[in-house]
Amino acid sequence: MKKNHDLLPLMDAIKEYDEKDVIPFDVPGHKHGKGTKELVDFFGERVMRIDVNSMKCLDNIGNPVSVIKEAQDLLADAYGADHAFFLTNGTSSGVQAMIMSACQAGDKVILPRNAHKSAINALILGGITPVYVQPEMDENLGIAMGVTLDKIREAIAINPEAKAVFLINPTYYGASSNLKAIVELCHKNDMAVLVDEAHGAHLHFHEELPMSAMEAGADMSAVSLHKTGGSLTQSSGLLLKEGIIDKNRVKTIINLTTSTSASYLLMASLDGARKILATRGREILCEKLELVRWARKEINAIDGMYAFSTELVDKEGVFSFDETKLGINVSKLGLTGFQAYDILRDEYNIQMELGDIYNVLGIVSLGDSKDAIEALVDALKDISLKYKKEEFKCDLLALENPEVVIIPRDAFYMEKKILPLTDSVGEISGEYIMAYPPGIPILSPGERITKSIIDYIEVLKTQKSVLTDNHDPSGEYIKVLKHNNVRSIAI
């Protein structure tokens, strides 16, 4: 039976609780804001009053039976899933739950090397062995795209015992793989398909966008409603189709790392964002697609700039493209993306999502306006006039998959030593190094360090990129395994 998406079961329950003016002798300790005037002045009285804890009338995220369950069921219905779970620790927790629900310690999972660090964290937590697939690279743009059906087929043939295939839909920059064909291939080989849709929470609600994971028949997907669906930061959803993976196992895995004091502000925002997407998502996305298509036309008329889009479709690794990802190549201006990112923020008060060697990326979503898009276009026109010089070129872009010497969990727990980064060629990394955003590891624990990897990190340092997760924020030193004579794993 079709569900009524005008309903807001969790938001209404919180509102009803607030209107009762209950005298609280439970947590949180601010007691509806009465003890923290500074927070009330900053956040507003309403926010503090509805920052509440689990109780019978508001259900419990660990084992929902009433209003949270009703809200989760609506979320599942909106995306064409059989079950949904609210996440209050972002899609990172959903990615970990997916991999650990499909795999046990010692199992293999096939995944692209441009996966988010949360996927590698799941391997550490679960003792799972990675089988990396090299994503396709666009050398002109200097970015990784999707993975091809042929490469997934090859990985399955070599690793028929793998339990799952993990995919990204879409990539940070908007590229989507042939998801439906990959799902069919994996299911023929009795493998679960897990999809990181951190940047695809909106896909399901407009037919001109890439196919969503649930529509393609994937077993699970994690969607960042806070990124492109309108909910509050750190709130996401985990979607499940019945079949290969048991819903009770998923709930158990989620509860391993979920707070028993999950934020009702975050959960309520998921309830509200779902209503917006389910009832008005297509209408809103039509408006945003019109805006972003106009922006691309204007940007591509600017000397030295290229806003890439659906013309990439049918190239290797690009089966379809999410036009709401406004990637702009600035290399012909003579700028790096890092420089353009800083210029836009510091001189024009415009905050882009990220800068990389060649590009800046803007995310166009529910809240973007014509005025904001026009301000960006005007700023880019001005930058072209002020900064245009000889084209910038970099030969250090196409990194190959590092050699996985030992599984991430073993490397994580092994004894380490610290070396200068420049002296670490041939060593085995004992930590992550990545640029954030997007949080895709350049090195992960257990991988062999090469000169090309070091050279790439040195380029990032010269561009003042933010390096994260390594013990030395400057990137001058790196933790490596103390004993380098370990035997490589067989994968």
DSSP 8-state secondary structure symbol assigned to residue 5: T
Class in CATH terms, 408-481: alpha beta
Q: Is 271 exposed, middle or buried (0-12, 13-18, 19+ CB in 10 A)?
A: buried
Question: Among all chains, which residue has been given the structure tokens 């979503």?
Answer: 365
Give DSSP secondary structure letters for 126-177.
HTPEEEEEPPPEETTTTEE----HHHHHHHHHH-TT--EEEEESS-TTSEE-
Closest CA to 439 of 178, 149, 114, 140: 114
User: 3-class DSSP state for residue 180?
Assistant: helix
| Cβ neighbours, 10 Å, residue 8 | 19
Question: 343, 318, 397: which is closest to 140 by C-alpha?
Answer: 397
Contact 91, 236 (CB under 8 A): yes
Selection from 208, 235, 461, 227 nearest residue 361 by Cα: 227
Domain parsing of the chain, residue ranges: 9-278, 281-387, 408-481
Q: How far apart are CA 486 and CA 413, in angstroms?
A: 14
Say yes or no: domain 281-387 is CATH 3.90.1150.10. Answer: yes
Distance (Å, whole) CA 8 – CA 11: 5
User: pLDDT in tens for each of the 491 residues of the chain?
Assistant: 789 999 999 999 999 999 999 999 999 999 999 999 999 999 999 999 999 999 999 999 999 999 999 999 999 999 999 999 999 999 999 999 999 999 999 999 999 988 999 999 999 999 999 999 999 989 889 888 999 999 999 999 999 999 999 999 999 999 999 999 999 999 999 999 999 999 999 999 999 999 999 999 999 999 999 999 999 999 999 999 999 999 999 999 999 989 999 999 999 999 999 999 999 999 999 999 999 999 999 999 999 999 999 999 999 899 999 999 999 999 999 999 999 999 999 999 999 999 998 999 999 999 999 999 999 999 999 999 999 999 998 765 556 778 899 999 999 999 999 999 999 999 999 998 887 666 678 889 999 999 988 888 888 788 777 788 888 888 899 999 997 655 544 44
d(CA 110, CA 149): 13
Q: What is the pTM of this model?
A: 0.94
What is the architecture of the domain spanning 9-278? 3-Layer(aba) Sandwich (3.40)
